[in-house]
Amino acid sequence: MGCGSAHLRLYSGLFQAMRAALLIQRWYRQYVARLEMRRRCTWHIFQSIEYAGEQDQIKFTRVYCLCLSGNLISHIFRENEICRDIEWERYFCYKNIEVPELYSGPHLSFPLTVSNVADLVEAFKNKQQLHTRYVLQLLLESWKLLRMLPNINQVSTCQTKEITICGDLHGHLEDLLLVFYKNGMPSVEKSYVFNGDFVDRGKDSIEILLILFAFMLLYPNNVHLNRGNHEDYIVNLRYGFTKEVLGKYRLHGKKILKLLQKIFSWLPLATVIDQKVLILHGGISDTTDLNIIAQADRHKVKSTSFLLVNGRMDNSLQRHCSLAYNSPLRSRYNFQSRSMQNFSSKVNLAVEEELKEQRRMAGLSQSYHDLRSSLSSDSDSDNYETYEDDSNEWKQVIIVDMLWSDPMPQDGCIPNEVRGGGCYWGPDVTEKVLRRHNLQLLIRSHECKQEGYEFCHNRKVLTIFSASNYYEVGSNRGAYIRLGPDLVPHFIQYQANRSTRELTLRQSVGETERSALRALREQLFAHKSDLLYAFQDYDTDNTGWISLKHWATAVEAVLRLGLPWRVLRSQLVTTTQDGMLDYQGWLRELPITEPKTESHVTLSIEQLFGWVTLILWKNSLMNSHHSLIGLISFEEFRQTWKLLSSHLKMEISDEAILDMAVSIDFNKDGSIDINEFMEAFRLVDRTMNLPSEPNHTKTDE
């Protein structure tokens, strides 16, 4: 009897222990699930804001390219596009630039040596700056080499045991240095493929380019660079690279940017390893054909953004018949070409009428026809991407797909409306393209992944992303791939920021979530005026109150981020009364009290106006009779701002514009030069708490 009682107590104890273990297990699973839900929601916020920014980039480029007959952006870097390469080489000549004795940075000799490149990497690691003479010389040699390379590089693992593949770096020099530390520097025994998007967003883009170009010159058979969608001078205007170069190299910044524009257009489009693995930046489409890509004049595509906003390249028409992707390429293109021409003529007519009205409202006497004539009088056929025939034009459509497209889980090929360019392609398209070219794997980048890499399409498409902490510290890992003769990818993940490795999962999710919500509030703050109008549409009685349902609907209608606003409502709306929101009070509470100094995922209205003003100022500079001395008059400044404000339906008085011009005119000579404008823009930029320039020793001039 006693024995049975003991067994009963034992079994009872075991039952209680198992029950407790199951309860703990269930609680832990729920806890992890909640953390994962928060992490995914945070990720969705960051990604939606990023893609919305890319849509805005296309929209703003469309406004300026169409409204100003395509001349606006192209004139920014323009000197004389009709020049031949030999004349451009004379223009970029560095020999008359002297290196002062006080210069303490790295010195380069050409042809480059291993010690030269090692010194360069070490100097950048120590925050030193390369002198302008060496920058131009290094870029000029890189341009000469790139012009000799094919559109698609062929690489073999027979020459080296492994090939390392890196994805987007986006100006994150610490990530590149960490890859070199963990994996070794490029050499004859260690080949690398860098898959585009070297610049923008981060603060060390020019340093990354110079390091990669130096290694490419040193080991041309072992270091391969593919072009990304951010190797684009129009995109660089928005995402920071143009500003970085002009800030670090003030005297020769424009010449460096012009040379980089040419270099970007000559970057190869893809790399193939052992004729089995295709590496390109964005992706493919239902019309991708490597044989056609190999024949394209890639250097004619100065900017894919320009192609996207050109009438020929409207996305919805470009892929109008994408569901019938088995149809012949020629018939599909013929249909699209006719559609593009019809669309282009309609859009240009509508824009012309709209701009006439806006110029009338802005009080400008010059007609749109006169404006077009004055701008087109010195137009450049090369920058407008005017193509010799339909075949060349279609080849460049395919290039856009290669740089901008993303995979999707469903079959088919549809316009990439989220980014505003390229397409979404499905597993069936992957299978078709790989089978057509006897390939077994497609490696691409272009998308930030939380773990640094991700498979899709039955493990036949692999995304690799090498910029860790891309959205915020702790938001994602970076990764790179090692590919041996067996062509089986091996992944190495990392976090460049040491502090993130010390955080628990809960702390990491919490930090990233707070950063995402802060970025979202910045987006809301940047759209305050539009939000107020949207809220007032639901407040027909002018009570100042709307329902939370209407709040969520209005916010999505304005921001168009596709976020679960009802889920986020508790994080964004703190005070309600009986399910109603005082929207005016909520808007007043939106200003950010403690802005992050390292946030780069959003631009406020003030910052955006700063960039737009910079673009328009350069356009006026290049087209004015003052271009030789680099000045812009107050009247040119006024006309530019009146035109812009009328288009954006924002009132700004002549007095306010004059006050702005006078405040920028530091030497009080009645005109504005580039140094005055850049200094004013730098001061505004600092007050808006954008990332500040690193403390470099000013030794370049």
- The predicted model gives 435-443 an average pLDDT of 97
Active site residue 369: no
**pLDDT for position 301:** 87
Is the pLDDT score of 171 beyond 50?
yes
Return d(Cα 24, Cα 667) in angstroms, integer. 72
Is the pLDDT score of 682 beyond 60?
no
Q: Please state whether beta strands 461-464 and 441-444 pair in parallel, antiparallel, or not at all (unpaired).
A: parallel
- Give which of 172, 46, 52 is closest to 511, Cα–Cα: 46
Q: Which residue has the higher pLDDT, 67 or 185?
A: 185
Contacts 24+ apart (CB under 8 A), 497-503: 497/174, 497/468, 497/469, 497/473, 499/473, 500/469, 500/473, 500/474, 503/474
The H or E element that residue 249 is part of is none
Q: Please state whether beta strands 277-280 and 413-415 pair in parallel, antiparallel, or not at all (unpaired).
A: unpaired
The highest-confidence range among 10-24, 259-273, 359-373, 544-558, by mean pLDDT, is 259-273
Provide the phi-psi class of 547: left if phi over 0, else alpha when psi is between -120 and 50, else beta. beta
Is the pLDDT score of 257 beyond 60?
yes
Distance from chain centroid for Cα 179: 22
Return d(Cα 394, Cα 332) in angstroms, integer. 10
User: Residues 604, 607, 609, 615: is their CA dihedral positive or negative?
Assistant: negative
- Summarised one tens digit per residue, pLDDT across range 466-477 is 999 998 888 889
Q: State percent of the chain over pLDDT 90.
A: 38
For the CA atoms of 336, 340, 343, 348, the dihedral, rounded to the nearest 10 degrees, stands at: 180
Q: Which residues of 367-398 are buried (b: 16+ CB within 10 A; e: fewer)?
A: ebeebbeebeeebbeebbbebeeeeebbbbbb
- Summarised one tens digit per residue, pLDDT across range 608-629 is 444 455 444 445 444 444 433 4
The full 3-state SS of 491-543, as one line of letters, equals EEEECCCHHHHCCCHHHHHHHHHHHHHHHHHHHHHHCHHHHHHHHHHHCCCCC
Reported as a pLDDT band with limits 50, 70 and 90, residue 2 is low
Average pLDDT score over the chain: 76
Return d(Cα 358, Cα 288) in angstroms, integer. 42
**pLDDT for position 284:** 96
Query: Is 165 in a helix, a strand, or coil?
Result: strand
Return d(Cα 70, Cα 87) in angstroms, integer. 25
Return d(Cα 170, Cα 241) in angstroms, integer. 10
- Summarised one tens digit per residue, pLDDT across range 130-143 is 999 999 999 999 99
Instruction: Please give the C-alpha separations between residue 78 and each of 116, 221, 623, 632, in angstroms, as whole numbers.
Output: 33, 33, 10, 17
Instruction: Please give the C-alpha separations between residue 437 and each of 81, 155, 391, 431, 433, in angstroms, as whole numbers.
Output: 37, 16, 21, 10, 6
Reported as a pLDDT band with limits 50, 70 and 90, residue 408 is very high
Reported as a pLDDT band with limits 50, 70 and 90, residue 412 is very high
Taking only Cα atoms into account, the Rg of the chain, rounded to an integer number of angstroms, comes to 27
The H or E element that residue 560 is part of is none
Is the preceding peptide bond at 591 cis, omega within 30 degrees of 0?
no
Catalytic residue among 170, 230, 252, 457: 230
Is the pLDDT score of 442 beyond 90?
yes
Q: Which residue has the higher pLDDT, 72 or 296?
A: 296
Q: Which residue has the higher pLDDT, 534 or 653?
A: 534
Return d(Cα 580, Cα 566) in angstroms, integer. 14
**pLDDT for position 67:** 47
**pLDDT for position 345:** 43
- Summarised one tens digit per residue, pLDDT across range 67-125 is 444 343 444 444 444 456 677 777 778 888 889 989 999 999 999 999 999 999 999 99
